[in-house]
């Protein structure tokens, strides 16, 4: 059996590469906050400290001065009207599994027989096999 020199060399040097991959250089900043600014001392506020009411009022006044005096309305865009939320709520309720004894237990289980040219829809007592299939396949819930 002839062994090629390249795979033999790769096998011989594999432990060296594995050791080099795990090697990490020791950094001089061990124990320091990596996100702290270099020039400023990192002094944390005392626990329970909060800005004064006057500072909060001043910040609110500055922000209100930056914005125009026009109030927001539903005509400002789709983010402020509830169309997207109502649409999502409708889609969410349509996707919910119905109760097996409820008004529409076959919502996610087709209750029709399709051929190439004909569609036979069934209902009432004739839909009992499809109702049983919905229960077995988990297309409806027994619990609410």
pLDDT band at 73 (very low <50, low <70, confident <90, very high): low
pLDDT at 74: 57
Q: Kindly report, residue by residue over 84-99, the tens digit of the pLDDT.
A: 888 888 898 888 888 8
pLDDT of res. 3: 64
Question: How far apart are the C-alpha atoms of 57 and 61, rounded to whole Å?
Answer: 6
DSSP string, 71-122: PP-GGG-TTTSSHHHHHHHHHHHHHSPPBTTSS-TTSSS--EEE-SS-EEE-
pLDDT of residue 13: 74
Q: What is the pLDDT of residue 117?
A: 93
Q: How far apart are CA 139 and CA 40, in angstroms?
A: 62
Q: What digits encode the pLDDT tens for the residues 7-31? A: 777 777 777 666 666 666 666 666 6
Residue 80's pLDDT is 58
Residue-averaged pLDDT of the chain: 77
pLDDT category at 76 given cuts 50, 70, 90 is low
User: According to the model, what pLDDT value does residue 26 have?
Assistant: 61
Decide: helix, strand or coil at residue 141: strand
pLDDT digits (tens, 9 = 90+) for 119-138: 988 888 888 898 899 889 88
Residue 1 in this model has a pLDDT that exceeds 70: no
Cα gap 11→5, rounded to integer Å: 10
Assess whether pLDDT exceeds 90 at residue 118.
yes
């Amino acid at each position: 059996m002839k062994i090629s020199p390249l795979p033999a060399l790769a096998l011989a040097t594999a432990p060296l590469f594995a050791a080099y991959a795990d090697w990490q250089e020791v950094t001089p900043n061990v124990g320091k906050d990596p996100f702290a600014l270099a020039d400023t001392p990192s002094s944390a506020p005392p626990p329970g400290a909060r800005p004064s009411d006057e500072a909060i009022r001043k910040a609110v006044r500055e922000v209100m001065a930056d914005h125009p005096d026009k109030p927001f309305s539903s005509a400002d865009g789709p983010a402020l009207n509830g169309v997207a939320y109502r649409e999502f709520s409708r889609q969410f309720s349509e996707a919910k599994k119905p109760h097996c004894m409820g008004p529409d237990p076959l919502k996610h289980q087709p209750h029709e027989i399709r051929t190439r040219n004909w569609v036979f829809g069934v209902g009432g007592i004739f839909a009992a096999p499809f109702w049983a299939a919905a229960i077995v396949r988990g297309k409806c819930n027994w619990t609410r």
